[in-house]
Chains A and B, each alone.
Chain A
Amino acid sequence: MAQIIHRSTNLLKTVSAMRHLTTASTTPITVETSLPFTGHNIEPPSRSVETTPQELLSFFRDMVLMRRMEIAADSLYKAKLIRGFCHLYDGQEAVAVGMEAAITKKDCIITAYRDHCIFLGRGGTLMDAFAELMGRKDGCSKGKGGSMHFYKKESGFYGGHGIVGAQVPLGCGLAFAQKYSKDENVTFSMYGDGAANQGQLFEALNMAALWDLPAIFVCENNHYGMGTAEWRAAKSPAYYKRGDYVPGLKEITKSLSCETSMQVAKEHALKNGPIILKWTPTGIHELHVRPWKQYRTRVRLLVVLDRTLKRNRKEMRKGWMKSLQKLRI
C-alpha cells in the first residue's frame, strides 16, 4: 500500500511539473483511437481524430484534476467528513472531458449520482463541489443536496439524481423542451449499466424516438450495477443495441473517441432524433464507496491502480507530448 501511495505522489509531481510547460501549439495532429467504433443501425465514425497538442493537454489537465478531486473525496469520505453516499467517477473522467469538448454550455447534461466530475466539466468549481460534499452552505446546492445532487442551471447541468434511472425520463423532458423552444441544442441523458435495466429507460427511448427528440442516451458501463456484476444482472450487455430502432455507438473510453462520438451523436440527434452511446470506462474505485465492503477483490484493485500509474509515469519520462499521443487520450 505504501508503494502505491509513493508512486501516486510521483505521478502528482509530474502533473505539477507539467503545469510549468507552456500550452503547446495548435498545429493539428491526427491521432488514431485505440479501438474502432462499433455501430448499431448507424455508420460508425472513423478512427482518425484530428486534434491539437493544446487540446490534448487541456484534456489531460482536466482529467487529472477530476482524478485528484475524486481521490481526495474518497479520503474525506473515509475520514467521515463526507457522510451518506459518495459515488466516485475516477476512471471515467474521459467521458466527461470528451463530452464537454464536443458540446456547448447551451446543451443540457443530466446524469445520476456519479456527478462530481460532470459538474466540474460544466464549469463548477472545486470549492462548490467540496463545500456541497461536506454540507456547507457555500456548496452548489447550499449543502441541502449532498453528493448526489450537484446542479448548475446556468451551464445546463441538470444534476445529480439519487434514484437509479429516474433521470432518463427527465432528460427526455429536457430534450422535449429543446424541441418545443426550437433551439438547436441537444440533451445528454447519462446512466449506467445498472440503470440500463430500468423500464423507464425503454419508455423514454420509445418517446424520444417517437417524437424525434434531440436526446442522446449515454450509457457508462462500469460492469457493476450497485454491487452486482453486469453478467449477473443483464442478459444482454450490448447496451448500445438495446435501443433496437434507435441507433447506437460503442467504444472503450478514451476522451478523444468520446469527443468524436459525441460530435457525431449531436449531429445525429439534431437531425434524426435519439441515439445511444455506450462507454466502458475502467473505474478504479468501488462504484459506491462503502468502507466496509469491496465489490472487487483488493488484489485486483491494486493491480489495476499500479499498472495505470506505472504506465503513465514511464510515458511521462519519455517525453510528454509523445506520451499523450501514445496514451491516446
Chain B
Amino acid sequence: MAAMLQSFGVASASVAVSDHSIKLPAFSAPVIRSEARSISSPILGTRKTGKVTTKAVAAKAENPASAASKPGHELLLFEALREGLEEEMDRDPRVCVMGEDVGHYGGSYKVTKGLAEKYGDLRVLDTPIAENSFTGMAIGAAMTGLRPIVEGMNMGFLLLAFNQISDNCGMLHYTSGGQFTIPTVIRGPGGVGRQLGAEHSQRLESYFQSIPGIQMVACSTPYNAKGLMKAAIRSENPVVLFEHVLLYNLKERIPDEEYVLSLEEAEMVRPGEHITILTYSRMRYHVMQAAKTLVNKGYDPEVIDIRSLKPFDLYTIGNSVKKTHRVLIVEECMRTGGIGASLTAAINENFHDYLDAPIVCLSSQDVPTPYAGTLEEWTVVQPAQIVAAVEQLCQ
C-alpha cells in the first residue's frame, strides 16, 4: 500500500511543490469518490437538485482506475479553478464573476486571467474595494436568477461583508418562505501564507460555519478544486469555497473529460487501519508528509480530506472511525470554535461507542499570526507534531 502511494510534503517552499506532481493514486481498495463520468449521468444519490442534503451519501466509483489510466492534462491549481469557471461560464450565460481585480488585472491569483477579454466587462466585473456592497450586489443579482461568483481577494476581507453573507446570503431563502434561492459562490484564498501578517492570514471557515443556510467546501488539489468549483456554481445553495494561498501552484494531472464532484463528500486520500486522520486544505500535505514518517515507523494511518466543511460527510468519516477506532484531526483553523472543534463534537455525538481513545484535535494556536517566519511556523501544525500525536494515540 505504501509503495503505491505517491505522497509529498509541503514543508517550507511553496514553489518547490510544483516539482512533485501528484499522481492520481490507483487504489485497489474501494475509493470513496464521486465522479460523473459524463455530465448527463450523475451518480445517483450524490447529486441532488435543489436543497442542502444533511446526509451525504458516498457512492463507490465503478471504475476507480479509469481516471488514472486516461491521459488527462497537467495544470496548476489556479488553472484548474479557471478551467472550471470557464466551463461553467460557457455552459450557462447567467454565471458571472465579480470581485476586486478579477477583470482587467486577471485576478490577484490569476484565477480569472483572460476571462474578461473573453466574456466582457459586465460578466467579469471589476468592483471597487467595497466588499460589503459588492457581496450584497451579488446576492441581489442572485435573487433575480443570476449566478454570481464573488471573489474575495483574501478571505479575510470578506469579514466586511459578514452581514451580507450571513443575513442575506444564508437566510433569505428561509425568511422569504422559499421564494428566493441564492445560488452564489463566494470564494477566495485564506489561510496562513508566507509571512503575510496577522490580518491577511485569517481562517474564516470557523467564523462562517455557524451561518445557517450556507454550504462550505475547501479544495486542496487541482482535481478537487475544479470539481468543487463546478459543483458550487451549479448548486442552488450559497456555497463558500475556501482556497489556500499556498496551494495555488500545485500541479496535477486531471482528466480531460468534464467532471463535477459532490459538495458534501469527503475524499479518501490514503486508506489505513490504525488511525483516522481528518484534515482539509493545506494541512492535507503536512499530514501526508507525516504519513511517510509514520509508515516508516510501522503505523498505517487512514487519511481523509474532509473537503466538505459544512455539512460534514459523516458517512465517510463514520465508516473510517468504525474501522480504526482512533481519530486525529489536523487543521489550520484556530483551536477555539474551529472546524476541528465542531468535528470533534459531531464524531463524539455520533460515533462515541466506536472510539478507543479520545479524539485529538491539532489546530493552529489561538494567536494572531506573527510576521516573523519562525514564529509563524510555530502557530501552524507541523508534521513532527502530527507524528507525535499519532504515536501517542496509538499506544
- Measured CB to CB, the residues of A under 8 A from B are 108, 110, 139-146, 149, 151-153, 158-163, 166, 168-174, 176-181, 199-200, 203-204, 206-207, 210-211
Q: Is the CB of B136 within 8 A of A200?
A: yes
Most buried by B among A110, A139, A151: A151
Chain B's nearest CB lies how many Å from the CB of A186? 13
Within 8 A of A (CB), among B113-163: 122-123, 125, 127-128, 130, 132-146, 163
Interface pair A169/B175, CB less than 8 Å apart: no
- Chain A residues with CB under 8 Å of B180's CB are 151, 153, 158
Q: Is the pair A206, B130 in contact by a Cβ cutoff of 8 Å? A: yes
Separation of A210 and B134 alpha carbons in the complex (Å): 13
Q: Which A residues are CB-close (under 8 A) to B369? A: none
In the assembled complex, the CB of A315 is this many whole angstroms from the nearest CB of chain B, namely: 41
Name A204's closest neighbour in chain B (CB-CB): B133
Report yes or no: B141 in contact with A173, Cβ–Cβ below 8 A: yes
| Contact (Cβ within 8 A) B164 A166 | yes
Residue B57, interface by CB 8 Å: no
* A139 to B175 alpha-carbon distance, docked (Å): 11
Query: Would you give the 0/1 interface string for B35-51, flagging 1 where the beta carbon is closer than 8 Å to chain A?
Result: 00000000000000000
Question: Which B residues lie within 8 Å of A211 (CB)?
Answer: 122, 125
CB-CB nearest in chain B for A141 = B177
Q: Does B96 contact A (CB under 8 A)?
A: yes
A residues in contact with B130, CB < 8 Å: 200, 203, 206-207
In the complex, what residue of chain B is closest to A140 when comparing beta carbons?
Answer: B177
| Chain B residue, CB-CB nearest to A175 | B140
The answer to whether A170 touches B122 (Cβ under 8 A) is no
Q: Which of B123, B137, B142, B145 is the most central at the interface, judged by chain A CB atoms within 10 Å of its CB?
A: B137
Whole-angstrom distance between the Cβ of B126 and the nearest chain A Cβ: 10
Are A200 and B140 in contact, with the CB atoms below 8 A?
A: no
A200-B176 in contact given A162-B167, A171-B140, A173-B138 (Cβ < 8 Å): no
Query: Which residues from B are CB-within-8-Å of A143?
Result: 177
Q: Are B137 and A204 in contact, with the CB atoms below 8 A? A: yes
Contacting residue for B176 out of A145, A170, A179, A180, CB 8 A? A145
Partner of A145, one of B125, B138, B177: B177
How far, in Å, is B25 (CB) from chain A's closest CB?
43
B136 contacts A170, CB within 8 Å?
yes
Contact B140 A153 (CB under 8 A): no
Which of B122, B128, B142 is the one whose CB lies under 8 Å from A206?
B128
Which residue of the partner chain B has the closest CB to A159?
Answer: B176
Q: Can you list 29 contacts pairing A with B, beta carbon distance less than 8 Å?
A: A110-B140, A141-B179, A142-B178, A144-B174, A145-B177, A149-B175, A159-B172, A159-B175, A162-B167, A163-B163, A166-B164, A169-B134, A169-B135, A170-B140, A170-B143, A172-B133, A172-B137, A173-B138, A173-B143, A174-B140, A177-B144, A178-B144, A180-B123, A200-B133, A200-B136, A203-B130, A204-B133, A207-B127, A211-B125
Check B134–A207 contact: CB distance below 8 A: yes
Asked if B168 is an interface residue, CB under 8 A from chain A, the answer is: yes
**Are B132 and A174 touching (Cβ within 8 A)?**
no
Q: How far is the CA of A166 from the CA of B165 in the complex (A)?
A: 11
Q: Which of B127, B133, B134, B176 contacts A160 (CB 8 A)?
A: B176
A-B contact number at CB 8 A: 123
Q: Which of A163, A169, A180 contacts B96 (CB 8 A)?
A: A180
CB nearest neighbor in A for B136? A169
B133 adjacent to A207 (CB under 8 Å): yes
Q: Which residue of B lies closest to A182 (CB)?
A: B122
Q: A170 CA to B137 CA in the complex, in Å?
A: 5
Query: A207 touching B132 by the CB < 8 A rule?
Result: no
CB distance from A172 to the nearest CB of B (A): 5
Whether A153 lies near B132 (C-beta < 8 A) is no
Q: How far is the CA of A159 from the CA of B167 in the complex (A)?
A: 13
Cβ-defined contact, B141 with A180, below 8 A: yes
Cβ-defined contact, A145 with B175, below 8 A = yes
B contact residues around A149 at 8 Å (CB)? 175-176
Of A162, A174, A199, which one neighbours B141 at CB under 8 angstroms? A174
Besides A151-B176, A159-B172, A176-B137, 13 other CB < 8 A contacts?
A: A142-B177, A145-B175, A151-B177, A151-B179, A169-B134, A169-B137, A170-B137, A177-B143, A180-B122, A181-B144, A203-B130, A207-B127, A207-B134
Residues of chain A contacted by B145 (CB below 8 angstroms) = 177
B138 to chain A, nearest CB (A): 6
7 residue pairs, one from A and one from B, having the closest CB atoms: A173-B140, A169-B136, A203-B133, A141-B177, A170-B140, A142-B177, A203-B130
Query: Which residues of B sit under 8 angstroms from A176, Cβ to Cβ?
Result: 137, 140-141, 146
Per the bound structure, the CA–CA distance linking A163 and B170 in Å amounts to 14
When distances are taken between beta carbons in the complex, the residues of chain B under 8 Å from A204 are 133, 136-137
Q: Given A161-B168, A163-B167, A169-B164, verify A203-B132 contact (CB < 8 Å).
A: yes
User: Are A173 and B177 CB-contacts (below 8 A) given A163-B163, A179-B122, A207-B128?
Assistant: no
Contact residues of B between 165 and 198, Cβ < 8 Å to A: 167-168, 172, 174-180
B178 — which chain A residues lie within 8 A by C-beta? 142
Measured in the bound complex, the distance between the Cα atoms of B135 and A179 in whole Å is 17
Contact indicator A173/B132 (Cβ below 8 Å):
no
> By the criterion CB–CB under 8 Å, are B177 and A139 in contact?
yes
Assuming A141-B179, A166-B167, A210-B128, is B134 touching A174 (CB within 8 A)?
Answer: no
Q: Hey, which chain B residues are within 8 Å of A168, CB to CB?
A: 133, 136
Q: Which residues of A contact B125 (CB under 8 A)?
A: 211
